[in-house]
Structure 1
């Protein structure tokens, strides 16, 4: 088995912060139109690039202030062939946007060399994360996601971040594709209000199935796009939890179906969310990557970092 060559500082046990709530913040709080929930078109304008730079710099500033490392996620979560075609992007243009996204992150990191900062190339599911259709077998998922991962492998990214996955076969395909191109990969599943994946599998079973089919190649696993109330009850002290290293939580307690229908942002309670993630951090020492997903903004990120760093 080929092992990736790049070391990941977030595996060292220190606190790392990650932010995945940019799209909902831009759409609901700042009135920015993101067709297909895609943020990579922001790369095409000076104003759009300024939005992206601001988020990256805000995260680095927060990490520096709180003595935490930072994982920067690229705006490429839906920059795969099918989802891009739905908003009019041809493959050659999509390739350029994937590359430009990593170049922009890299330039920000070069401006701030004093902080442990990881460049993560974000990828997402082929179809709706909350209600996946046309569920792929692992081999098909590998072929499909290899197209985007091959492009990202040509950049200076440190790793692949596969987020908001609803079933293990897609995760297996992504992991195999990352291995082909000698890239580390972190896999993040989403769960419903009952703590199970949208397809009904348990988080434990999804992680174990992915590891078994890929000889444990993934660097680590996370859970994202769910409120802590939805998954805290399934976090145990069993051995599979050693593979779960991060939680990236929604601000809202709403179900995925309710969020899909929402016309206004539910920002929840930033201080409460911070306390909940700090409690997870305290009771599960292996979970050292914390952050915000849908409905969060820098208020939530500051609250998370402050709660963890306050004795």
Structure 2
């Protein structure tokens, strides 16, 4: 049998993914520094509300509340032994919403980075990374996730480990990296390097692309890089809702629904098939994106000037594909 995402991809020329997890949970009362994954047990109704908000806004795919649900990340909260169970519950809550949506909706099991640096720069071995990802993958599979969604990865070595874990779990998967250092990931990978990597993996993703990063304009430049590489695999674009700004003690993203609607159209015309938002993207943004995708005709591939004119300038002059950029390791959580 084909998986749910493949079936949708066979019938549609674009699909809309969801928006932010952290941003929307903070709006529901999550405190900074707390593990969102613990809410799967403590506040399941709020997690169902998160998922339903995306589906009601038009998302064809939504990600489970399991981004930091691996043992390495949960160790920071003393919950490393609950990694499989918390991921299972995240997916089970997702099934509750998808199965009553009245239309095909894909439950994508979010798998974020371990937060550790892999060998040889760090101490995390390939075998340990595979084990960490595999445990989470099995939990998401048990809970009913349709597909694994590996996201916000910066190191190619970690991307490979996640791919191997998906194979061990016999799960289809998608994978995105975050490009935010002058067009490169924190560990120096370029858009061209990721497009080449996915085709060399023994267990290839159904789709690949970029999420998070700096802003929507930068992400679209990366999407153009994927398209230029010539891959026929579906491309994912999940950009932030504008640029983060610190306002009255809180992080605020300045992207309006209108800006995100323009971003969605530009992403589609740049070559993306799966289009969603990342940090700062609320159901209000998603509704505007869905309306734009449904009503605005497909146009030619935009130029870099088209992108900057419509949604703002780039954060750097380089797209990362020229010269060498140093790796800059740090840890992050999708919000």
SS in 1 for 2:143: coil
- Please report the TM-score for the alignment, with normalisation by the length of structure 2: 0.77
Counterpart of 2:16? 17
Counterpart of 1:99? 88
**Greater helix share, 1 or 2?**
1
Asked if the contact 2:116–2:124 (Cα under 8 Å) also holds between the matched residues in 1, the reply is no
SS in 2 for 1:42: helix
Aligned-residue offset at 1:128: 6.9
Distance 2:151 2:24 in 1: 18
Q: Which moved more, 1:291-300 or 1:234-243?
A: 234-243
Asked if the contact 2:25–2:50 (Cα under 8 Å) also holds between the matched residues in 1, the reply is no
Asked if the contact 2:48–2:97 (Cα under 8 Å) also holds between the matched residues in 1, the reply is yes
Match status 1:300 vs 2:289:
no
Q: After the TM superposition, which residues 165-244 of structure 1 pair with which residues of structure 2 at under 5 Å, given as runs?
A: 165-192=153-180, 194-212=182-200, 214-215=201-202, 217-226=204-213, 227-234=215-222, 235-236=224-225, 237-244=227-234
> Alpha carbons of 1:97 and 1:231: their partners in 2 closer, same or farther (altered >3 Å)?
closer
> Alpha carbons of 1:169 and 1:90: their partners in 2 closer, same or farther (altered >3 Å)?
closer
CA offsets, 1:187-237, max 9 Å, x none?
A: 01101152211112202202312431x235211102100322113234144
Counterpart of 2:99? 110
Distance 1:25 1:156 in 2: 23
> Alpha carbons of 1:128 and 1:223: their partners in 2 closer, same or farther (altered >3 Å)?
farther
Counterpart of 1:59? 54
Asked if the contact 2:267–2:275 (Cα under 8 Å) also holds between the matched residues in 1, the reply is no
Distance 2:135 2:80 in 1: 13
- Please report the TM-score for the alignment, with normalisation by the length of structure 1: 0.83
Asked if the contact 2:72–2:114 (Cα under 8 Å) also holds between the matched residues in 1, the reply is yes
CA offsets, 1:262-298, max 9 Å, x none?
A: 84222422211220221221242xx221111111111
Aligned-residue offset at 1:307: 1.8
Aligned length: 286
SS in 2 for 1:86: helix
SS in 2 for 1:83: helix
SS in 1 for 2:40: helix
CA offsets, 1:114-162, max 9 Å, x none?
A: 2111111111000079xxx837454443233122122223332111000
Counterpart of 1:41? 38
Distance 2:17 2:293 in 1: 14
Counterpart of 1:66? none
Counterpart of 1:268? 255
Asked if the contact 2:38–2:86 (Cα under 8 Å) also holds between the matched residues in 1, the reply is yes
Match status 1:6 vs 2:10:
no
> Alpha carbons of 1:283 and 1:232: their partners in 2 closer, same or farther (altered >3 Å)?
closer
Counterpart of 1:247? 237
Question: Unaligned 5+ residue runs, structure 2?
Answer: 297-335
Distance 1:268 1:5 in 2: 37
Question: Unaligned 5+ residue runs, structure 1?
Answer: 64-68
Asked if the contact 1:5–1:183 (Cα under 8 Å) also holds between the matched residues in 2, the reply is no
CA offsets, 1:29-58, max 9 Å, x none?
A: 44422535x32211223xx22221122222
Displaced runs of 4+ in structure 1, greater than 6 A? none
| CA RMSD after TM alignment | 2.5
